[in-house]
Structure 1
Amino acid sequence: MNYLLVALFLVFSFGSAAQAQTEIVTRAPGLEFVTDTRIPGADEAMMSLCYVTDDLVVFGIVLTSDVQGYALASDGCETSYDQLYSEDKIVAAQALGLIPAEINPVAGNDWKHKLGIYGLLLSGCLGLIAVIIRRVKSLLGYDLRGPMRKKAAIRILSAMCHMAKCDGIVDSIELTHIRKTIRRLTGRNYPTSEVIQMVDSIDMSAGLDEHHFIAFGKGLRDREKDLMMQGILSVAIASGRLIPVEHAFATELAYGLGIPGEDFRRLLDLVYASEEAA
C-alpha cells in the first residue's frame, strides 16, 4: 500500500522524476499523542501514550500516517518515545487503571488515518485517470477545454468551403453558417473575410479526383475526420436538402477519409439532429 501511494504520487505530480524520490518523497517514523496515562516516567512525571506511525512525507509535509503500534513517551509524544508498548501491556495497564479503558489495545488506523491514506490513494488514481483521458483526447484531436489544432481546423474549413462551392453559389447566409459551424466544431473563429477568400480561391470546374479527397484527410486523426464530415454535411443540408452534386462530394470525401458507410450514415443522422436542435 505504501509503495503504491508513493508511486501514484510520483506519476501524478512529477511524471518521470522517479530519481527525486529520496529528496522529495520519503518515509519517516512519527509519533502522535493518544492519551495521558498514570504510568510514571524516569522523572516521576506521568507518561503519554502515543501512536508510532510510518509517515509519508512530501516536501517536508506529512501527507499520511500509518499506525504501527503504541509507545510511551515522557515528552508528550513531541520528539521521541521511551519504550514501545505492546497489546498485552496495554491490557494489563487498563486492568490497573493506568490507561483509560476506552483505548483499543490493538493499535491500528482509525477513520481519520484511513481517510488520509485512502483519500490520497483515490486522489492519485483520479489524477492518473484524468491524465490518461487528457492524453487520449489529445491523440484523438478532441479536447473540450481548448481549440482544435490549427492544421486540422483549417483543413476542415477548406472541405466545408469546397462543399459550399459545389452548387456554384455561396451567399451570405451560407458564409455565416460556415463560420458558426467551424467555430462549434473546432473551437476556432475565422473572420468572414478569411472564409470569403478561401471560397473565392476554390475552382470546382476542373473537378476533384480521389487524390484530392485523400489529401483532405492526410495527417488527420479519426476524430478530426469525423468532424470534417460533420462540417461538410452541415453545409450541405443547411438549405434543407442534399442535392446530387453535394451527395457525390460527401460520398467521395467519406471514401477518401476511409469512413465506412455505417459511420457516414451515423454522422449524417448526427448532423440532422444538430440542425433540428439549433
Structure 2
Amino acid sequence: MKPVSFLVAAVAAALSLLPTPAAAKGGGGYAEHLEYVADYGPQGEGQENLALCHLVKKYHVLFIPIYYQSEGYVLAENRCDTDSFYHFKEGGLAAAKAVGLLPADLPDEPSISLGQRVPKILWGLVLAAVMVAAVKRRSRRNGLAAQMSDLPQRTQVLLNVLCHAAKSDGRIAAQEIGLIAEITRKMTGTDVSHSRVEQIAAMAEKKLMPKDFERFANGLDADGRESIVKAVLLVLAADNKLEKAEQRFLNGLISAFKVSQLQFQRIMSEMREEKMAS
C-alpha cells in the first residue's frame, strides 16, 4: 500500500483548491449536473471521500432537454451527489491514473451516453423537417405567383383565396374547379380555364398560418374583403356541407379580414336573399 502522505500529495497535485459551483439555470438556458464514474482513491468511513464525476451541461428549452455537452471529468464528494466540484489541474488526471487513484484504463475523455445523444439527434431532425417544409412552402408560393403572373391583380387575389379555400379540406372536386372559374369570371371579368384553375389549386396549401390569411387581405378595402368572403362561402357550400378544416379556413379568413359578427350575419342574409331572388 502506498503511504498516506504520498496519496495526500497526489490528491493535492490533482485538484484545484477551490470548488466550482454547478450552474443551475432554468427556462431557456442550461444546467450542469454530475454523473458518478468511479471512486477516487481509497474510501473509508468518517472521511471526505471523493469520486470521479462526469460534468455534463444540459441545454433545455422550457425544461425540455435538447442538447447535452460533456464538460470533462471533475472530482466531487458524496459520490457526485452534490452541487460543488473540483477541476483537475493540467496533467492531474494522468497523474491520478499513474499512482493508482483512478483505473489505469479510464478513457482520457468521458463520452455522452446514447440516451443523451438522442435528444440532440431528434432536435436536429425536427429542425431539418421544419426547414424543408419552409422551403417547400416558399417554392409552392413562388410557383403559384408565377402561374398567375399574367393575370390582373384583382383576379390573382380572388383566385388565390378561392383555390386555398377549396384545398382546405384536402381535396378539390371538379364542381369546385368549375365554380371557381365561374365566380372569377363574374367578379373580375377574366376568363380562366378549368385546367388553369386546377393547376393553381394543386399548388395551394392545405393548412395556412395567420400570416397567410393576412397576406390575402393586403391591398383590399372593406368592400373587396366582403366580396371575397361571399365568394369563399359559395365555394365552401358547393358540396352542401362544411368540414371542420373548411370552418377553420373560414374563421382564419374572417379574422384576418376583420369581419365582425354583425357584418358576417349581414353577408349571410344578403346571400340568402340573392339565392331566393335567383
Calculate the TM-score normalised by the size of structure 1. 0.43
Calculate the TM-score normalised by the size of structure 2. 0.43
